[in-house]
Amino acid sequence: MPDLAHVKAALRAQRIETPSWGYANSGTRFKVFPQAGVPRSPEEKIADAATVHRFTGAAPSVALHIPWDRVEDYGALARYARDLGVAIGAINTNVFQDNDYRLGSVTNPDPVIRRKATDHLLEAISIMDLTGSRDLKLWFSDGINYPGQDDIRDRQDRLAAALRQTYDRLGEDQRILLEYKLFEPAFYVTDLPDWGTSYAHCVELGERATVCIDTGHHAPGTNIEFIVAFLLRQNKLGAFDFNSRFYADDDLMVGAADPFQLFRIMNEIVRADALDPAYGINFMLDQCHNIEAKIPAIIRSVMNVQEATAKALLVDRDALREAQQEGKVLEANAVLMDAYNTDVRPLLAELRAEDGLDPDPIAAYHRSGYQQQIEAERAEGQQAGWGA
């Protein structure tokens, strides 16, 4: 059986990064339902992220999205975050919301538009220099809608050229997290549709380019834990954008739609000893809370990741290995299911209490008065960025 002290130490070391845009108003293309108290500025998003960290003890960094979080002085923003007890994490680029990008950003047939898009990526690295961020997260909406619309292979060449320029601008301690997505907003070809394409570009770029797996970006039924295992073996898994989905890129709370899938993913992470922040994987959330209260939803999401992780840590690895070696199919499966079916909530509550946290972070948040305070202070909340 796994040693409980080891399980607790691993859970204590776990870090989850929250997204600034998760705190702001969001919705679907049909309607954004505004909520009272949502942040009006990057500073207020960071304050909310710090609040999530205060109650969970496990979310000490917040990812920014540029230009949604554009400020005059990024050094000052980083100091502001540090004073609140959090760090600025990944810088996300945005080359999908400008009219110029109708036919693509870095893969656009027009070199002037490609230059503009690539310059934005380079600017994001300058921001990282000021915030002390390690990770540049790249997601491209680029693609085509109709066969023949553009040359698929030329677009790959243009993508590779922009990535090369960006990679060459990275500082020594910085890296690229390259995200892929099967479809949307492009419907026929997406220029970075899957992990294989992202992986191939990362290999071409070099050591400091790694793949970011957004759990909502696959075809239904895709075996995500296989992708995790494969990329770990190749040393090319850099990050997760965690969220959950029933149909497409639903961006619901991680662990809500399929907690078993989240467990299977974390099982591969634990199997590879890749949980500790020192290993270098950035476990981020990338989700929106369209109808539910944002801060408690993000606390819930952090807890969902912790619960899946605790279960993965409880897998009896020796028993599993033995059953696998002996070809005992049912026994091996039972070892995994025993861990999955363990109620780990008392263990996590105990751990929080030992660390001076409230065992029930959501109840503690509701009691804290923070929600009432922000509702009183923040007259009109900002939209996350989509459709803004």
Q: Which residues bind Mn ion (CB under 5 A)?
A: 214, 241, 249, 286
As measured in angstroms, the least distance from the Cβ of 130 to Mn ion is: 23
Which two three-digit tokens encode residue 31?
């309607």
As measured in angstroms, the least distance from the Cβ of 46 to ligand PSV is: 17
Residue number with CB closer to Mn ion (214 or 268): 214
- Tell me the three state secondary structure of residue 311: helix
210 touching ligand PSV, by CB under 6 A:
no
92 touching ligand PSV, by CB under 6 A:
yes
Q: Which of 139, 140, 240, 263 binds ligand PSV (CB under 6 A)?
A: 139
Residue sitting closest to ligand PSV (CB): 139
Residue number with CB closer to ligand PSV (158 or 181): 181
175 touching ligand PSV, by CB under 6 A:
no
Residue linked to tokens 């992986």: 199
Residue number with CB closer to Mn ion (90 or 127): 90
Q: Which amino acid is at 108?
A: N
As measured in angstroms, the least distance from the Cβ of 264 to ligand PSV is: 21
- CB-based contacts of 184: which residues, under 8 Å, 6+ apart? 190, 248, 249
CA 57 – CA 302 distance, rounded (Å): 10
Rg (CA), the chain: 21
Q: Using H for helix, E for strand and C for coil, what is the string for 211-257?
A: EEEECCCCCCCCCHHHHHHHHHHCCCEEEEEECECCCCCCCECCCCC
CA 199 – CA 210 distance, rounded (Å): 7
Residue number with CB closer to Mn ion (43 or 249): 249
Select the binding partner of residue 218 from ligand PSV, Mn ion, none (C-beta < 5 to 8 A, by kind): none
249 touching ligand PSV, by CB under 6 A:
yes
As measured in angstroms, the least distance from the Cβ of 56 to ligand PSV is: 22
Residue number with CB closer to ligand PSV (191 or 214): 214
Do residues 324 and 332 lie in contact, with contact meaning Cβ atoms separated by under 8 Å? yes
259: preceding bond cis by omega (within 30 degrees): no
Q: Which amino acid is at 123?
A: E
Residue linked to tokens 């070099």: 206
179 touching ligand PSV, by CB under 6 A:
yes
Q: Write phi, then psi, for 281 (nearest 5 degrees).
A: -80, 130
Q: Which of residues 285-304 bind ligand PSV (CB under 6 A)?
A: 286
As measured in angstroms, the least distance from the Cβ of 139 to ligand PSV is: 4
54 touching ligand PSV, by CB under 6 A:
no
Select the binding partner of residue 92 from Mn ion, ligand PSV, none (C-beta < 5 to 8 A, by kind): ligand PSV
As measured in angstroms, the least distance from the Cβ of 365 to Mn ion is: 25
CA 353 – CA 231 distance, rounded (Å): 36
As measured in angstroms, the least distance from the Cβ of 212 to Mn ion is: 7
Q: Which of residues 3-32 bind ligand PSV (CB under 6 A)?
A: none
> Chain-centre distance of CA 345, in angstroms?
23
181 touching ligand PSV, by CB under 6 A:
yes
As measured in angstroms, the least distance from the Cβ of 181 to ligand PSV is: 6
β-pairing, 189-190 vs 143-144, is antiparallel
Residue number with CB closer to ligand PSV (197 or 368): 197
Do residues 144 and 99 lie in contact, with contact meaning Cβ atoms separated by under 8 Å? no
Q: CA angle at residue 295 from 48 to 220, to 5 degrees?
A: 120
Do residues 298 and 22 lie in contact, with contact meaning Cβ atoms separated by under 8 Å? yes
120 touching ligand PSV, by CB under 6 A:
no
Select the binding partner of residue 236 from ligand PSV, Mn ion, none (C-beta < 5 to 8 A, by kind): none
With CB under 6 A as the rule, give the number of residues binding ligand PSV: 8
98 touching ligand PSV, by CB under 6 A:
no
Q: Write phi, then psi, for 59 (nearest 5 degrees).
A: -130, 65
As measured in angstroms, the least distance from the Cβ of 249 to Mn ion is: 4
Exposed, middle or buried by CB within 10 Å (0-12, 13-18, 19+), for 105?
buried
Which residues lie near ligand PSV (CB under 6 A)? 92, 139, 179, 181, 214, 241, 249, 286
